[in-house]
Chain A
Amino acid sequence: MSTAFDMTAGQVAIDGRKILRGIDLTVDEGEVVAVLGANGSGKSTLVRALLGVQPLSGGATLLYGRPPARFREWWRIGYVPQRLSVGGGVPATVREVVASGRIARQRRGRFTSSADRQAVAAALEEVGLSGRAGDPVSSLSGGQQQRVLIARALAGEPDAFVLDEPTAGVDAGSQRMLADTLRGLVERGRTVVLVAHELGPLEPLISRAVVLNQGCKVHDGAPPTAVGTHALPGHDHVHPHEPAPAESPVPSWVLAQEKA
């Protein structure tokens, strides 16, 4: 089995501030890895660095064995950013945005093929937005826009999906729908890296969890159980009768596991 993503000692600094501090992360083909952590812990930066979208200030990262600058098979990657960028006000329909997910498979100067159209229709169907295909994306709700982004990645029929908080602002029904979609992908051997705050219905699919805290990897291994998520650094619940969550960078459930 080969590796999809392979980062060694990855560092990112923006304006001299260290955002990622020496991350080692290998994702094999077919794995489903969740990236967890508090707001600002560097999750988005990590997945963007994995893709080579965010340049590293130290260390190295490989996509299917090649550094991003020399990687050519971009159709193998489907990236779902944290939010939809609507552009400067020029309208674009749901179908146009989803169809742009085919770009890595299209040859310059060629017309849209029937394979392109079929993949776009299937992706729209998968996220339940076929009925809105002709509407401008800006007229959709935040949760629906999230589904547009997922459909765009699906349309490219990639081998590996990198999803940045695909469940943020998405209702329970849509989360289950996303879980079903992901299950289908996983069964077909696709690789998935997803950033999340709450795993919710995605939890049973996750084969591995990586926890970030202030730009450091503090856990890499079994996913947290539902009870365990309460101890995640990202979990902002305030329990008035309990002492404030410890400032320890390592969640308690990790410690519990390592002792076992």
Chain B
Amino acid sequence: MTIFHLDFMRYALVAAVMVGLTAPAVGTFIVQRRLALLGDGIGHVALTGVALGFLTGTAPVATAVVVAALGAVAIEMVRARGKTSGDVALALLFYGGLAGGVMIIYLTPGESTASLNSYLFGAITSVDSTDLWVIAGLAVAVLALLAVFGRELFVLCQDEEVARASGLPVRFLGLLIAVIASVTVVVAMRAVGLLLVSALMVVPVATSQQLTRSFRTTMALSMVFGVLATVGGLTSSFYLDVPSGATIVLLALAGFAVALGIGRFVRRSRTGESTA
């Protein structure tokens, strides 16, 4: 029997592909914008959203999207005002989001912090067909937005001042990337959990930039690495009977280590050629 004969594994694999494609695509812009830890900040805030879902009896994914998007907009506004640096703004949200989530879950009758576990660490095999439609819809929306606004986002993330002097709607684009990131975090939450979500946005990008010279190929290759990590991690976690989220992230990190070695080697032989 293979994993494709199990419904829950088929759903999980499709979800894994979606997450593997979207998280690094968004991550490429976020890393370029020097906000590599944005995903972590949003992930912590999303936890408050999940807990609010429990408290109010609504779907935690829905409340997580709303709260994460509000958190991302708050981060962007604090950052744009320039009074507090971006990383301090992120740190404040980390703490607030985590503490808020734990407190709200404590106040929810019949729930304990154990209810948060599947959101903290991921439970991709619990994805059902309804979840899958939601994940697929969100993933397609994220990729479509990146395709339409990609050129402008590249300029924005490269140099905000030049973006402004080119007449781009800088404030709108900043909020757009923040909201896209928060939707991605919630999509990826099912696969790897909120605590590891950012790894899928950052690690495949870091892996790919060891090997590439252009922005475009960095993004494309990071999506390939993302899918390899999510699908490979999910499959091996099934056969090895270990947690899927952690396996996915460890696999992505192993890929980074390998790429680091190959990148060194390629660069050395390149410089060797040019000096020869």
Q: Do A and B bind each other?
A: yes
Which of A's residues lie within 8 Å of B, judged by CB? 48, 51-53, 71-72, 74-75, 77, 79, 81, 84-85, 87-93, 95-97, 100, 103-104, 106, 108-109, 134-136, 152, 156, 162
User: Would you call B149 and A92 a contact (CB within 8 A)?
Assistant: no
Give residues of chain B (142-198) contacting chain A, Cβ–Cβ below 8 Å. Answer: 147-149, 151-152, 154-155, 157-159, 161-168
- Determine the distance from Cα of A229 to Cα of B31 in the docked complex, in whole angstroms: 44
Q: Let me know if B165 and A88 touch, CB within 8 A.
A: no
Known contacts A87-B33, A90-B218, A136-B214; A109/B167 CB under 8 A = no
From A75, A93, A100, A136, give the contact of B155 (CB < 8 A). A100
Q: A109 to B151: give the CA distance in the assembly, Å.
A: 9
Question: Which chain A positions have C-beta within 8 A of B264?
Answer: none
**Contact of A93 with B158 in the complex, beta carbons under 8 Å:** no
Alpha-carbon gap, A156 to B158, bound state (A):
17
A167 to chain B, nearest CB (A): 19
A71 and B166 CA atoms in complex are apart in Å by 11
On whether A92 and B215 interact (CB within 8 A), knowing A87-B157, A103-B155, the answer reads yes
Q: A70 vs B239: C-alpha distance in the bound complex, in angstroms? A: 61
B32 within 8 A of A: yes
Chain A residue at minimal CB-CB distance from B213:
A136
Name A91's contact: one of B35, B168, B215 (CB within 8 Å). Answer: B215
Residues of A near B161 (CB, < 8 A) are 48, 53, 79, 81
Q: How far is the CB of A90 from chain B (nearest CB, A)?
A: 4
Q: Is B165 within 8 A of A51, CB to CB?
A: yes
A135 to B161, CA, bound (A): 24
Interface residues on B, range: 20 to 34
Q: What 1/0 mask marks residues of chain B from 197 to 224 whose CB sits below 8 Å from any chain A CB?
A: 0000000010001001111101000000
> CA of A74 to CA of B151 in the docked complex: distance in angstroms?
16
How distant is the Cα of A52 from the Cα of B167 in the complex, in angstroms?
10
Contact between B165 and A53 (Cβ–Cβ < 8 Å)? yes
Number of A-B contacts (CB under 8 A): 100
Q: Verify B213–A88 contact, CB threshold 8 A.
A: no
A-B contact pairs, 10 of them (CB 8 A): A52-B165, A53-B164, A71-B167, A74-B165, A74-B167, A77-B166, A91-B218, A92-B154, A92-B214, A134-B214
- Residues on B with beta carbons closer than 8 Å to the beta carbon of A85: 158-159, 162
7 more A-B contacts (CB under 8 A) besides A88-B157, A97-B158, A104-B166? A79-B166, A81-B161, A88-B31, A96-B215, A96-B216, A108-B151, A108-B152
Asked if A100 contacts B154 (CB within 8 A), the reply is yes
Question: Is residue B124 contacting chain A, with contact meaning CB distance below 8 A?
Answer: no
Residue in B closest to A95 when the chains form the complex, CB atoms: B214
- Considering only residues 81-117 of chain B, those with a C-beta below 8 Å from chain A are none
Enumerate chain B residues within 8 angstroms of A75, measured Cβ to Cβ.
167
Quote the shortest CB–CB distance from A7 to chain B (angstroms): 15
Kindly report which residue of chain A lies nearest to residue B27, judged by CB atoms: A90
- Asked if residues A91 and B209 are in contact (CB atoms below 8 Å), the reply is yes
Inter-chain contact B167/A90, CB cutoff 8 Å: no
Q: Could you tell me if B158 and A109 are in contact, using CB atoms closer than 8 angstroms?
A: no
Q: Closest approach, in angstroms, between the C-beta of A151 and any C-beta of chain B?
A: 13
Of B36, B158, B168, most buried by chain A (CB within 10 Å of CB) is B158
Instruction: A136 to B152: give the CA distance in the assembly, Å.
Output: 20
Query: Contacting B152 at CB < 8 Å: which of A103, A156, A162?
Result: A103
Cβ of A152 to closest chain B Cβ, rounded Å: 8
Residues of B within 8 A of A135 (CB): 213
